[in-house]
């Protein structure tokens, strides 16, 4: 990493005092009576009429001490059994990044970070701890190795070694993760970019059908999800409309995003008709910054926690708008939001794991916009999660490469996301995915951009490869045959012909010649997007099930509208 710490030890206590002051004096807005009652029973001061809750300093301090104890206990357990899968979310208190060498990147804020109570095929990009297979277990990072957080040596090699851990202990640094390929999942973008014309349109049923058909042709075996918001249907039935279209046009429909708890029973019933268990997606739990749990989010939060799902805050505070412009003030407010969320989780269900993610933003005081990938925004995010880790022991990841400022599809947008992901890796030790087709900080979705990012990710996957010194791949016979290369080179050997496809980066869209060929790249990506959508073959679907699911939708229209 470039820099192991942005905070000094002396900074933690005054920042913690700032969080305690925010929670005790400002408190939170919470528009859910059941949650307010749980907070009151846990020791918070509650005004039910004003829908406000305040947290006494002693309550928060004792809670933080409890989290620290959980972390110490969890680190000891993981050190003894590093192969054991963690139940629930890996971001529960006490599970440090040093014990999660292999993991998926954090979900996009619009994506479904958690499934329904029994799991969800749509939450594929949620952060989770990956259990290594037996042949990969030796690659897991062990306590005390280079690459472990909070190591006393600061990661420097031991005297006498050449930049590696002591050979006698068989300790190994963490491997580069095998990044998952971007796909159409639960992006729920507001706008779609037409692949052929570049036109930006509000999400609608026709474009949604075209998109999911494209997704089914591209990665049907992985399933397709609620990728676009349907603005041409009433909001309260929008997830059901999207779900019915997914069921009709996709072989493996992921669960729709239920933004209101009243939608959940209808989606579950539709899923049962279609043979899909707990067919709904909770999505991200987001404050209306600063410090506000509005009704829809609070209701969904309560439903999720009571169902036993690990829960935390998908935080998107913006410095200078919804949080103070200064770094210390930003940390105080954003950390207070995370801690308040965790307090609320445990007040409702003491056994639930804790999660969350940080997508810090900053205001552009010249242009009037907001950025989640600028230098200052990333710095605010890194500092906040470091403070939370050092004060509470809970690891909160910084959001992935997605949510960049680029507004049009192309290599620039992919590179902007890749740089953001690389910066996250530099400061946290974990490389997230670079994105899933979003533009304009998640507002727009582009099939062309998705294809570019899939091609880019295939290139990044080369970093996850390991060395195989088998006789065939060590190529000693060829090396001796070519010798000094005076009469022949490796370019003309049978060995190169046999192995160049599995050894070299052979991009489909991107050019190894550089940025100058972007026009050709975009033209090829547009053709590929259209060809994939045109090649879609509608799968055999049980029409009687679709009709029955449609009746559920019609009943929901009568009940909810």
Beta strands in 432-519 (DSSP E): 438-439, 444-446
**137: in domain:** no
Give me the pLDDT at residue 356, please: 95
Region 540-545: what's the mean pLDDT?
91
Same-domain pairing of 347 and 262: no
8: Cβ contacts below 8 Å, ≥ 6 apart: none
**162: in domain:** no
How far, in Å, are 7, 38, 55 from residue 341 at the CA level? 23, 13, 12
Give me the pLDDT at residue 514, please: 72
Q: What's the distance, CA 396 to chain centroid?
A: 11
Which pLDDT band holds residue 142 (cuts at 50, 70, 90)?
very low
Q: Determine the Cα–Cα distance for residues 412 and 470; give it in Å rounded to an integer.
A: 39
Which strands sit side by side in the sheet containing 361-363, from one edge to the other? Answer: 318-319, 361-363, 370-371
Q: What is the pTM of this model?
A: 0.83
Asked if 392 and 432 count as a contact pair (C-beta separation under 8 A), the reply is no
**How many domains are there within the chain?**
3
Least confident span in 27-31, 83-87, 266-270, 282-286? 83-87
Same-domain pairing of 295 and 383: yes
Neighbour tally for 82: CB within 10 Å: 16
Look over the chain and give the mean of its residue pLDDT values, rounded to a whole number.
Answer: 85
- H/E/C letters for each residue in 269-316? HHHHHHCCCCCCECCCCCCCCCCEECHHHHHHHHHHHHCCCCEEEEEC
Region 301-307: what's the mean pLDDT?
97
Residue 161 pLDDT > 90: no
Tokens coding 97: 């990044």
Region 399-418: what's the mean pLDDT?
93
317-364 pLDDT, tens digit each: 999 999 999 999 999 999 999 999 999 999 999 999 999 999 999 999
Q: Tokens 């070694």 map to which residue?
A: 161
Asked if 249 and 279 count as a contact pair (C-beta separation under 8 A), the reply is no
**29: in domain:** yes
Single out the residue in 497, 514, 543 at which a domain terminates. Answer: 497
Residue 151 pLDDT > 80: no
Q: Determine the Cα–Cα distance for residues 208 and 229; give it in Å rounded to an integer.
A: 8
Give me the pLDDT at residue 75, please: 63
Torsion angle of alpha carbons 259, 396, 88, 279, nearest 10°? 20
Q: What sign for the dihedral angle of Cα 115, 118, 121, 127?
A: positive
Which pLDDT band holds residue 176 (cuts at 50, 70, 90)?
confident
Same-domain pairing of 453 and 549: yes
Residue 3 pLDDT > 90: no
Residues of the chain with pLDDT > 90, as a percent, come to: 75
Give me the pLDDT at residue 173, please: 60
Same-domain pairing of 266 and 293: no
Same-domain pairing of 339 and 254: no
Least confident span in 53-67, 160-174, 400-414, 515-529? 160-174
**422: in domain:** no
Same-domain pairing of 211 and 227: yes
Give me the pLDDT at residue 171, please: 52
Asked if 297 and 288 count as a contact pair (C-beta separation under 8 A), the reply is yes
Same-domain pairing of 395 and 483: no
Q: How many residues does the chain have?
A: 561
Single out the residue in 477, 497, 517 at which a domain terminates. Answer: 497
Region 162-172: what's the mean pLDDT?
41
80-136 pLDDT, tens digit each: 544 333 333 333 333 333 222 223 334 456 544 444 433 333 333 333 332 222 233
Tokens coding 358: 């940080």
Residue 159 pLDDT > 70: no
Residue 462 pLDDT > 50: yes
Give me the pLDDT at residue 382, please: 96
360: Cβ contacts below 8 Å, ≥ 6 apart: 315, 316, 317, 318, 319, 330, 334, 372, 377, 378, 380, 381, 384, 398
Q: Determine the Cα–Cα distance for residues 464 and 261; give it in Å rounded to an integer.
A: 41
Q: Determine the Cα–Cα distance for residues 451 and 109; give it in Å rounded to an integer.
A: 21
Give me the pLDDT at residue 20, please: 98
Residue 392 pLDDT > 50: yes
Region 480-491: what's the mean pLDDT?
96
Same-domain pairing of 383 and 439: no
226: Cβ contacts below 8 Å, ≥ 6 apart: 112, 122, 185, 186, 187, 188, 239, 242, 243, 246, 254, 255, 256, 257, 281
**371: in domain:** yes
Tokens coding 188: 């729920």
Give me the pLDDT at residue 5, please: 86
Same-domain pairing of 239 and 226: yes
**346: in domain:** yes
Residue 168 pLDDT > 60: no
Q: Determine the Cα–Cα distance for residues 339 and 24; give it in Å rounded to an integer.
A: 12
Same-domain pairing of 210 and 263: yes
Range of the domain at 346: 1-102+285-399
**374: in domain:** yes
Give me the pLDDT at residue 391, please: 97
Higher pLDDT, 170 or 52: 52
216-254 pLDDT, tens digit each: 999 999 999 999 999 999 999 999 999 999 999 999 999
Instruction: Categorise residue 358: left if φ over 0, alpha if ψ from -120 to 50, beta otherwise.
Output: beta
Residues of the chain with pLDDT > 70, as a percent, come to: 81
Q: Determine the Cα–Cα distance for residues 218 and 236; give it in Å rounded to an integer.
A: 30
Output the domain CATH number for residue 15.
Answer: 3.20.20.480
How far, in Å, are 39, 54, 327 from residue 64 at the CA level? 16, 16, 22
Higher pLDDT, 34 or 93: 34
DSSP 8-state symbol, 137: G
**262: in domain:** yes
Same-domain pairing of 24 and 47: yes
Of 422, 170, 123, whose CA–CA distance to 284 is shortest? 123
Same-domain pairing of 300 and 228: no
């Amino acid at each position: 990493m470039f820099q192991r710490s942005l905070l000094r030890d002396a900074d933690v206590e005054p920042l913690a005092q700032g969080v305690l002051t925010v929670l005790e004096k400002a408190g939170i807005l919470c528009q859910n009576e059941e949650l307010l009652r749980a907070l009151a029973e846990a020791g918070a001061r509650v005004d039910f009429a004003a829908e406000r809750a305040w947290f006494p300093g002693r309550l928060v301090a004792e809670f933080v001490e409890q989290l620290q104890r959980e972390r110490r206990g969890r680190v000891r357990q993981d050190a003894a059994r590093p192969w054991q899968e963690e139940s629930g979310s890996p971001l529960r208190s006490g599970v440090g990044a040093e014990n999660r060498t292999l993991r998926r990147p954090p979900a996009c804020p619009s994506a479904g970070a958690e499934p329904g109570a029994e799991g969800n095929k749509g939450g594929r990009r949620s952060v989770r701890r990956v259990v290594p297979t037996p042949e990969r277990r030796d690659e897991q990072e062990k306590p005390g190795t280079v690459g472990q957080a909070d190591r006393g040596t600061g990661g420097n090699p031991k005297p006498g070694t050449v930049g590696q851990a002591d050979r006698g202990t068989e300790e190994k640094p963490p491997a580069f993760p095998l990044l998952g390929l971007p796909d159409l999942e639960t992006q729920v973008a507001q706008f779609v970019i037409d692949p052929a014309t570049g036109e930006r349109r509000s999400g609608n049923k026709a474009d949604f059908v075209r998109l999911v058909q494209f997704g089914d042709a591209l990665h049907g075996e992985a399933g397709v999800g609620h990728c676009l918001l349907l603005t041409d249907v009433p909001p309260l039935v929008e997830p059901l409309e999207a779900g019915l279209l997914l069921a009709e046009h996709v072989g493996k429909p992921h669960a729709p995003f239920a933004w209101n708890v009243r939608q959940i029973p209808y989606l579950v019933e539709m899923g049962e008709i279609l043979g899909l268990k707990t067919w709904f997606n909770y999505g991200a739990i987001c404050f209306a910054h600063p410090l506000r749990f509005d009704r829809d989010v609070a209701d969904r939060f309560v439903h999720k926690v009571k169902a036993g799902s690990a829960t935390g805050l998908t935080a998107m505070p913006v410095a200078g708008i919804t949080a103070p412009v200064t770094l210390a003030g930003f940390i105080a407010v954003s950390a207070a939001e995370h801690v308040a969320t965790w307090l609320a989780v445990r007040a409702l269900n003491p056994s639930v794991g804790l999660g969350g993610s940080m997508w810090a933003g900053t205001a552009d005081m010249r242009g009037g916009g907001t950025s989640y990938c600028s230098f200052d925004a990333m710095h605010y995010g890194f500092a906040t999660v470091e403070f939370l880790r050092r004060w509470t022991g809970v690891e909160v990841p910084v959001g992935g490469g997605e949510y960049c400022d680029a507004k049009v599809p192309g290599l620039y947008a992919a590179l902007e996301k890749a740089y953001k992901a690389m910066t996250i890796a530099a400061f946290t030790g974990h490389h997230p995915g670079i994105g899933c087709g979003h533009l304009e900080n998640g507002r727009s979705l582009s099939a062309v951009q998705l294809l570019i990012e899939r091609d880019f990710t295939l290139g990044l996957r080369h970093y996850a490869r390991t060395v195989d010194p088998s006789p065939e791949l060590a190529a000693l016979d060829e090396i001796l045959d070519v010798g000094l290369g005076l009469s022949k080179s490796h370019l003309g050997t049978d060995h190169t012909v046999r192995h160049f496809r599995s050894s070299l980066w052979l991009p489909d869209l991107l050019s190894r010649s550089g940025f100058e060929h972007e026009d050709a790249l975009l033209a090829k990506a547009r053709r590929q997007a259209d060809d994939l959508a045109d090649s879609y073959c509608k799968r055999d679907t049980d029409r009687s099930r679709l009709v029955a699911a449609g009746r559920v939708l019609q009943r929901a229209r009568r009940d909810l509208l």
